[in-house]
Amino acid sequence: MSDFQERISNTIDYVQEKVEDFFNKENAKRIILVGFTLLFVTILSLQMDSYNNIANPAGYASNDIVPPKNFNVKDLDLQQGPPRVMKNKKFLYGIFSMMSEKSRERRQVIRDTYLKVNKPGSKPWVCSLDRYQQLINLGDIQAADDCVVLYAFIVAAAPDQPKDHYRTSRPIALLPDNRERDVVYLNIQENMEEGKTYTYFKYAYQISTEIEIDYVAKTDDDTFMVMPVLYQNLIAPLPNSPYNTRYYGGQEVDYKYCGQHEWCAKVSPHGYFAGQFYFMSIDMAGIVSDDATERYFGGNQRNIEDLDLGYKIFQWSSQTKMPINQHVSIHRVWHHPLKSTEKFLERWELFKKEFPEY
């Protein structure tokens, strides 16, 4: 054997010896432990990706709300109830309003603008809640099923009652006024942050079993909603019953976005969705408005109901280990705030140029 061959042989023997030393019992244990750890982390990551919600993925066009991810039906807790009559999903769209003359005028402006999106000669998909209920009572299930967005103006109309329908047996809503049958008159005193929002979601949940509501939205009367985009990018991709569980979405407010306001300290790590528009599935409406739980969680002098509702949803999620299907709006499909009638009508004119078919 030449000197070169001998050096090669010695080198191979040295490498083999070091490899054997490395793979002794203790190192083997460490390698197995590291392997199982990596496997566990990989499985956990895939599971979280399956469960967790969309957080600003790239590639969505302006005015989009991120559509739902594909999900495994087995991961959902299915709602139980009587056999469903309606085939199409129902999206209750509550527009918060007041009893004042100024608010009445704004309601008419809204009726004359973005609520008028049913194309001539086509089946109406935006209906008042009252109209939808009338169709059901008349037995015209086909016409009722054509309605997808069920709008109603939400007014607190009982100045001699408490501000919240909480742990009480009194009726939650008053009889409608024939002059404005698309108005829901809650049986509470008017307020902004002391129970009106909770009462609205409680009302929605109470009527949902009778008229098959799947999702509930809350918006302000100074919000101009681009209804076709709302339908195409949010409502249409949402799952139908019985898979419409644990959904919550809108324009996200997190601690960074909140700024220096004194109430920002109440924002939970998950944030919440701003009151100009947000929605939740009907099961969440029942959970947040349940009389068995306390209303407010922030402990701050200023109550912000939208924030408290979001806090309550994520607290429930943490306690039950049930993930929330969040839908974060990247580019809003609405315009807010439009306080003056002039601004509202200007936006309507822009809408007609962008959507001439309406």
Q: What is the CATH number of the domain that holds 298?
A: 3.90.550
Residues in the chain: 358
Rounded CA-CA distance 247/235 in Å is 12
The residue with tokens 């949940």 is 205
Structure confidence at residue 297 (pLDDT):
56
Rounded CA-CA distance 310/316 in Å is 10
pLDDT in tens, 138-149: 999 999 999 999
Region 131-139 average pLDDT: 96
Structure confidence at residue 252 (pLDDT):
87
Please report whether residue 49 resides in a domain: no
Q: What is the DSSP letter of 178?
A: T
Q: What percent of the chain is modeled with pLDDT above 70? A: 75
The beta strands (E) that lie in 237-357 are given as: 247-253, 272-281, 325-328, 334-335
Please report whether residue 153 resides in a domain: yes
Structure confidence at residue 167 (pLDDT):
95
Region 284-306 average pLDDT: 80
Higher pLDDT, 18 or 117: 117
Rounded CA-CA distance 128/144 in Å is 11
Burial classification of residue 54, based on how many CB atoms lie within 10 Å of its CB (0-12 exposed, 13-18 middle, 19 or more buried): middle
Structure confidence at residue 327 (pLDDT):
83
The residue with tokens 């001998």 is 6
Dihedral, CA of residue 348, residue 122, residue 204 and residue 98, to nearest 10 = 30
Domain count, the chain: 1
pLDDT in tens, 180-207: 999 999 999 999 999 999 999 999 999 9
Burial classification of residue 96, based on how many CB atoms lie within 10 Å of its CB (0-12 exposed, 13-18 middle, 19 or more buried): buried
pTM score, whole prediction: 0.78
Residue 151, number of CB atoms within 10 A of its CB: 26
Task: Name which of 25-34, 89-98, 120-129, 325-334 the model is least confident about.
Answer: 25-34
**CA triple 84-87-90, angle to 5 deg:** 90
Distances (CA, A) of 286 to 3, 204, 292: 85, 8, 11
Average pLDDT, the chain: 82
Structure confidence at residue 264 (pLDDT):
79
- Most confidently modeled range among 77-86, 119-128, 298-307: 119-128
Q: 324 with 249: CB under 8 angstroms?
A: no
Rounded CA-CA distance 313/4 in Å is 74
Q: Which tokens sit at 23?
A: 């793979």
Cα 30 to chain center, whole Å?
Answer: 46
Please report whether residue 337 resides in a domain: yes
Please report whether residue 35 resides in a domain: no
Region 213-220 average pLDDT: 98
Dihedral, CA of residue 123, residue 208, residue 331 and residue 236, to nearest 10 = -40
Structure confidence at residue 171 (pLDDT):
97
Please report whether residue 127 resides in a domain: yes
Rounded CA-CA distance 168/155 in Å is 19
Please report whether residue 139 resides in a domain: yes
Query: In this model, does residue 330 exceed pLDDT 70?
Result: no
Structure confidence at residue 76 (pLDDT):
43
Structure confidence at residue 255 (pLDDT):
76
Q: 266 with 300: CB under 8 angstroms?
A: yes
Structure confidence at residue 73 (pLDDT):
38
Higher pLDDT, 144 or 326: 144
Query: In this model, does residue 122 exceed pLDDT 60?
Result: yes
Q: How are beta strands 334-335 and 224-225 bridged, if at all?
A: antiparallel
- Most confidently modeled range among 64-68, 116-120, 183-187: 183-187
Q: 227 with 283: CB under 8 angstroms?
A: no
How sure is the predictor about 261, in pLDDT bands with cuts at 50, 70 and 90?
A: confident
Distances (CA, A) of 231 to 1, 3, 44: 83, 81, 34
Higher pLDDT, 11 or 232: 232
Among the listed residues 243, 240, 304, the one whose alpha carbon sits nearest the alpha carbon of residue 278:
304
pLDDT in tens, 24-54: 656 655 665 556 555 544 544 443 333 333 2
Bridge partners (DSSP) of residue 156 are: 186
Amino acid 230 reads L
Q: Which tokens sit at 331?
A: 């580019």
Query: In this model, does residue 302 exceed pLDDT 80?
Result: no
Query: In this model, does residue 78 exceed pLDDT 50?
Result: no
Structure confidence at residue 254 (pLDDT):
83
- Most confidently modeled range among 4-13, 83-92, 98-107, 308-317: 98-107
How sure is the predictor about 160, in pLDDT bands with cuts at 50, 70 and 90?
A: very high
Please report whether residue 141 resides in a domain: yes
Please report whether residue 41 resides in a domain: no
**CA triple 303-284-236, angle to 5 deg:** 115
Q: What is the DSSP letter of 129?
A: H
Q: What is the extent of the structural domain holding 237?
A: 88-354
Task: Name which of 46-55, 151-160, 310-319 the model is least confident about.
Answer: 46-55
